[in-house]
Amino acid sequence: MLRANFHLALHALVPAAVAGVFYRDKFWRVWLTLMATMVIDLDHLLADPVYDAGRCSIGFHPLHSYPAIVAYGAMALWPRLRLIAIGLLIHMALDGMDCVWIFYE
């Protein structure tokens, strides 16, 4: 349970750190945009059970698939989509870390 809470906290703290370090003058707008990308977790509603502490999201849920991650990386090439892509890639990286933790438990 502690790991799950820590994981969820990172989903807010890492975007805040990115916004604070790289977009200090636009912190709130950038942080809210990065937080809005967390809506990607709606694809968890397609799974049964919706939440499984022992399941790795990467490669399991459609919006957490490897082709989707490549698409998020490609989105970063377009300036208008870059911030959204950064938020999605942060999310994938954090979920990927969770997969590593599951492997070592």
Give pLDDT tens digits for 41-84. 898 888 888 877 778 889 899 999 999 999 999 999 999 999 99
Output the CA–CA distances (angstroms, integers) from residue 37 to 14, 19, 40, 90, 103, in the order listed. 13, 14, 6, 9, 26
How many other CB atoms sit within 10 Å of the CB of residue 55? 14
pTM of the shown model: 0.90
Residue 94's pLDDT band, with cuts at 50, 70 and 90, is very high
Question: Is the separation of the CB atoms in 30 and 19 below 8 Å?
Answer: yes
What is the span of the domain harbouring residue 61? 2-104
Taking residues 32-37, what's their average pLDDT?
Answer: 97
Residue 1's pLDDT band, with cuts at 50, 70 and 90, is low
Count of domains observed in the chain: 1
Q: Using only C-alpha atoms, what is the Rg of the chain?
A: 14
